Structure 1
């Protein structure tokens, strides 16, 4: 039921933003969003009235508020709009709790891109079953109905799907990560079967590694070292690695280093990587907070040294929730150069191209608060604190210290309980709200 209400809220708010209508939040917070000005002196060939740009900005704003990724929020918005404007009967079924949100999302996803009448025909035929069937069963039924009623030939759909080829990765725990390739099915099977064949050749003489580990090792070695017998031609790659000298000296076995783009890895792994590094760059960090204080520079060009500094401090695009690597991000003046902003550590950040457009075209604002900490403000007045990943213990950014949390907030103890606990009426207990003896 809550998912149904959330879908309505997402879809309706997105429509209000794209139409330039005032939202409750924008009425409470003065906004920089001026829909009457279609041309801005920002250097980008884009207008504030561009619907695709506004939709993308709304997704970023909603993702920031809900603490989720933009990709996840985009998918939720697409599902919400599909339910709101195409599958209204399924939306009402969500309101009443008759179907699950997974089945509703599968219906929207599988019927996207086909005529509205066909999508509603699939919904009408399957909705009665969805009130009792499992999510897995409904997903299969929806796919079969789609294939049976889809007006576009399968070959044309395959050609369109191939345009979405991609290679992605995401971090996992304990210094591990997952690599995902989205390719045609026959290519994926060919790669997997080739790797499996070579892994099986090693399996007979292997004593420790099972087949799953062998597949992973063959895949890794073939990409990084080349197949056996081939000339090894490794490209010169930059891997950002921060090794804290203080932990290296005091606690080398349990110390933690930082791998750029991933996060914490064991110090021993970092030292093995550093042993083969062509060059090392000294970095001075605060041993208690982890903030970057200075970057040892041996170059005379300040711009290059500043870019090196940002690469180490920011590690990725500094827009809330964005993890695009430094290679795909650009130097950005927090306060625009045209309005007097300086080229300095205090006025610099890494931003990818898309989020530069948000800042310079749509009115997103960023303020540097020190130690690389940024406060972002959306076009509709929502604020968000963005901290550098390497900042272990952020200092208080406000003028007033946080309130002291009481040991037992709002709790009183009667005389009988005090007697059972051996309470000393003359002893002061710091932080307790009422320490005076009862009359």
Structure 2
């Protein structure tokens, strides 16, 4: 054994001090996260108390949204994120107080708490939850969160009154699909569905991917003496082929098991919204933006990647995710129409938007200006939002760009059913006033020029 054999006594003492300091820091961090959960749980309880006193028919939903919006705005975090944190904190603090106390004392981390609470979230009886917590906390003090998770599920099963069949029937109602954006013009698609189906989907994709790879290898062996054929050989890995197969199936397949008699679902095509700076799009630069809306067609395999010059701004998907120039140019070439967005060459402020075949001019103008929900910290794309009069039309508000903005349904409802208030200033700037009187400014996103 040679590791650290040459370390001096002072270096080993420094290492020991570092380990102890890091351990103390982790304990403090766990305690502070527990304190934050306590405050979030109090905020959620306060919102419900307010709703209960007013006998609100929504059972506190709008009150919780209103409080979450205030907390999210001051922290510059989405109120959806705050609402999820409030729900998680309430579950931990109120239903698993022993676990919360252990975290507050720094004996276990927040990750340990999540593993215990997730596995025990189906326990209904307070005594069962307390007994379960009493078993799990000592184990959590000795094990890592990833080792703790399967152990917690096994222990929780002892206290569950309902069988896994009953629980699964209810859990099926939580099935969903969602996406998260990544780096380098990539994104992740997630599916939450019955385990048997998901494992079956993955296995079928894997079998198909291995079959394609094996066929590619066979062709490569047969053409080993032919340099031209070898140069064009498909060298994708199984992971790459699996992803490409899933993409083709979703984008080009027909959901025959769910389609209507007249084929309504089969006629639906995927849609993406891309913003492409014209200098990135064209060889001869001009000063404007081209905003295209195009069906999402599977891209052909060109065998190489075309790189845009480093000094040109990238294209963007939904005004948020940078994408490569090759993909943007391919989509631009197949688009049936573009929105042209003219911007100030110095400040980037949007000046006007037009379309080669004009229609719904004002809506296009506002979608191009706002690009997302205009509530602070919200990132829902404008094409998924409602167009709202800041000053209500029923009380004299004009239907023009200086009195309209894009709000997602959640924040559209929040504006009309809570004390939150919004005023539009010059340049499309929105000033939101919260129930506690704080002001939050939301400016139109800067454009890629």
TM-score interval w.r.t. the shorter chain? 0.7 to 0.9
Alignment of 1:172-321 (within 5 A): 172-204=182-214, 205=216, 207-226=234-253, 235-246=268-279, 248=282, 249-250=284-285, 253-254=309-310, 255=312, 256-260=314-318, 262-297=320-355, 304-321=360-377
Do 1:17 and 1:58's aligned partners in 2 also have CA atoms closer than 8 Å?
yes
CA drift at 1:285: 1.9
Does residue 346 (structure 1) correspond to residue 398 (structure 2)? The answer is no
Which of residues 406, 409, 426 is equivalent to 1:370?
426
What is the match of residue 221 of structure 2? none
What is the match of residue 104 of structure 2? 95
CA drift at 1:299: 6.9
What is the match of residue 13 of structure 1? 43
**What is the total number of aligned residue pairs between the two structures?**
364
Q: How many angstroms apart in 2 are the aligned matches of 1:177 and 1:290?
A: 27
What is the match of residue 129 of structure 2? 119
Deviation per CA, 1:347-374, whole angstroms, max 9, x where unpaired?
1111122211110110212232333332
CA drift at 1:135: 1.4
Q: How many angstroms apart in 2 are the aligned matches of 1:235 and 1:210?
A: 31
Q: How many angstroms apart in 2 are the aligned matches of 1:80 and 1:133?
A: 23
Q: How many angstroms apart in 1 are the aligned matches of 2:135 and 2:66?
A: 37
Q: CA RMSD in A?
A: 2.7
Do 2:315 and 2:328's aligned partners in 1 also have CA atoms closer than 8 Å?
yes
Do 1:313 and 1:390's aligned partners in 2 also have CA atoms closer than 8 Å?
no
Residues 208 and 49 from structure 1, CA distance in 2 versus in 1: closer, same or farther, beyond 3 angstroms? closer
TM superposition outliers: structure 1 runs of 4+ over 6 Å: 298-301
CA drift at 1:173: 0.9
Unaligned runs of 5+ in 2: 1-30, 218-233, 255-265, 287-307
Residues 312 and 200 from structure 1, CA distance in 2 versus in 1: closer, same or farther, beyond 3 angstroms? same
285-294 vs 249-258, which moves further = 249-258
Which of residues 173, 176, 181 is equivalent to 1:166?
176
Unaligned runs of 5+ in 1: 22-34, 39-46, 228-232, 394-439
How high is the TM-score relative to the length of structure 1? 0.75
345-354 vs 167-176, which moves further = 345-354
Residues 202 and 69 from structure 1, CA distance in 2 versus in 1: closer, same or farther, beyond 3 angstroms? same
SS at match of 2:407: strand
Residues 370 and 236 from structure 1, CA distance in 2 versus in 1: closer, same or farther, beyond 3 angstroms? farther
CA drift at 1:73: 2.6
Residues 49 and 321 from structure 1, CA distance in 2 versus in 1: closer, same or farther, beyond 3 angstroms? same
* Structure with the higher helix share, 1 or 2: 2
Q: How many angstroms apart in 1 are the aligned matches of 2:84 and 2:318?
A: 28
CA drift at 1:11: 1.1
Do 1:169 and 1:179's aligned partners in 2 also have CA atoms closer than 8 Å?
yes
CA drift at 1:13: 2.4
